[in-house]
Amino acid sequence: MKSEKKPAKQQETQKRKEHPLKLFEGKRVVIKDVGPTTIEGDCIVAEPGYLLITNAKIIGTKHIAEAQLLYIPHHRIGFVHTEPTKVEKIEEP
């Protein structure tokens, strides 16, 4: 009986081991760097240690740069979200 329980637990553990960054693969993303930089692009690879972005637009405080391919190590990522579907201006009272 013990051998029957192990495969079920292993499958369950393997499902939980998938990193949350994997959800961004194949989607247009916006990445806030730990510095003042914001990056927009298409995520082609999302691994626990890094992201690979194509068609990247790198927005800094003084310049905007475009790159065909961009590697971002995980320690440089502040947060990541998919491209906004709706943006509204906040009205001041």
pLDDT tens by residue, 4-54:
555 556 655 555 677 888 999 999 999 999 999 999 999 999 998 999 999
Determine contact, residues 83/39, Cβ cutoff 8 Å.
Answer: no
Ordered DSSP codes for 48-82: TTEEEEEEEEEE-SS-EEEEEEEEEEGGGEEEEEE
Arch. (CATH architecture) of 18-82: Roll (2.30)
Residue-range domain boundaries for the chain: 18-82
Instruction: Provide the whole-model pTM.
Output: 0.74
| pLDDT given for residue 18 in this prediction | 78
| pLDDT given for residue 6 in this prediction | 56
| pLDDT given for residue 58 in this prediction | 97
What span, in angstroms and rounded, lies between the C-alpha atoms of 82 and 67? 19
CB atoms within 10 A of CB 67: 14
